[in-house]
Chains A and B, each alone.
Chain A
Amino acid sequence: MANHLHHHLKHPDWEITIIDEREEHHYQPGYLFLPFDIYAPEDIIKTIEEFIPKEVKLVNNNITRILPADNKIELSGGSELVYDILIIATGAKIAPEETEGMKGSEWQKSVFDFYTFEGSLALRNKLRHWEGGKLVVHITEMPIKCPVAPLEFAFLADSFFKHKHMRDKVEITYVTPLSGAFTKPKATEALEHLLHEKGINIEPDFAIEKVDNEKKEIVDYGGRVIPFDLLVTVPTNKGDELMERSGMGDDLNYVPTHKATLQSINHANIFVLGDASNIPASKAGSVAHFEAEILTDNILRFVHGEPLKEEFDGHANCFIETGNGKALLIDFNYTHEPVEGSFPFAGIGPLRLLKESRMNHMGKLAFRWIYWNVLLKGTHIPFVSATMSEKGKHYA
Chain B
Amino acid sequence: MEKTIAGKNITVNEEGYLTDFSQWDEKVGEALAAEASITLSARHWEIVKYLQNEHKNQVALSIRRIGKSGVTDIKEFYQLFPNAPLKTATKIAGIPKPASCI
- How many residues on the B side are at the interface (Cβ–Cβ under 8 A)? 17
> Is residue A147 contacting chain B, with contact meaning CB distance below 8 A?
yes
Which residues of chain B come closer than 8 Å to A142, judged between CB atoms? 62, 100-102
CA distance A283 to B101 in the complex (A): 11
Check if B55 is an interface residue, CB within 8 A of chain A. Answer: no
Which of B78, B87, B100 is within 8 Å of A222, CB to CB? Answer: B78
Q: Which residues of A contact B (CB under 8 A)?
A: 141-143, 147, 177-179, 183, 205, 207, 209, 221-222, 251-252, 280-283
Q: How far is the CA of A252 from the CA of B87 in the complex (A)?
A: 21
Choose one: B68, B82, B101; the contact of A251 (CB below 8 Å).
B68
Residues of A within 8 A of B82 (CB): 222
At the interface, yes or no: B99 with Cβ under 8 Å from chain A?
yes
Asked if B74 and A209 sit within 8 Å, CB to CB, the answer is: yes
Shortest beta-carbon distance, A283 to chain B, in Å? 8
In the complex the two chains form, is B78's CB within 8 Å of A221's CB?
yes
Q: Assuming the A-B contacts A222-B83, A251-B68, are A183 and B102 also in contact, with contact meaning beta carbons closer than 8 angstroms in the complex?
A: yes
Q: A335 to nearest B CB, angstroms?
A: 12
**Contact B87–A179 (Cβ < 8 Å):** yes
Contact partners of A281 in chain B: CB under 8 A: 102
Segment 52-87 of B: residues with Cβ below 8 Å from A: 62-65, 68, 74-75, 77-78, 82-84, 87
A82 to B64, CA, bound (A): 36
Interface contact B74-A280, CB-CB below 8 Å: no
Beyond A143-B100, A183-B101, A280-B99, whether A205 also contacts B83 by CB under 8 A is yes
Least CB distance from B93 to A in Å reads: 18
Bound-complex Cα distance A119 to B87 (A):
33
Cβ-defined contact, B74 with A207, below 8 A: yes
Cross-interface CB contact of A221 among B74, B87, B100, B102, cutoff 8 Å: B74
A selection of 14 A-B contacts at a CB cut-off of 8 Å is: A142-B100, A142-B101, A142-B102, A143-B101, A177-B63, A178-B101, A179-B84, A179-B87, A183-B101, A205-B84, A207-B74, A222-B82, A251-B64, A280-B99
Who on chain A is nearest to B76 by CB?
Answer: A221
- A221 CB contacts on chain B under 8 angstroms: 74-75, 77-78
- A143 and B62 CA atoms in complex are apart in Å by 10
